[in-house]
């Protein structure tokens, strides 16, 4: 079972408003940058 918090585009955008880069967001969740960008591209 995957117990990671749900990573959504809105969460990513909130973190970006706080000054985080996509790279930093990906590293903090231990996921590929491409996955972060993919989630942003869904909306």
Give the start-to-end residue ranges of the domains of the chain: 9-41
What confidence score (pLDDT) does residue 10 get? 93
What's the CA gap between 43 and 30, in Å, rounded? 22
Four-residue CA torsion sign, 18, 26, 37, 4: negative
What are the helix (H) ranges across the chain?
9-17, 22-29, 33-41
- pTM, to two decimals: 0.75
- Residue by residue, pLDDT tens for the chain (43 residues) are 455 567 899 999 999 999 999 999 999 999 999 999 999 986 5
What confidence score (pLDDT) does residue 6 get? 76
Q: Does residue 26 contact residue 32 with C-beta atoms inside 8 Å?
A: yes
């Amino acid at each position: 079972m995957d117990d990671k918090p749900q990573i959504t585009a809105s969460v990513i955008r909130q973190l970006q408003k706080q000054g985080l880069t996509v790279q930093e967001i990906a590293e903090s969740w231990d996921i590929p940058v491409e996955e972060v960008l993919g989630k942003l591209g869904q909306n």
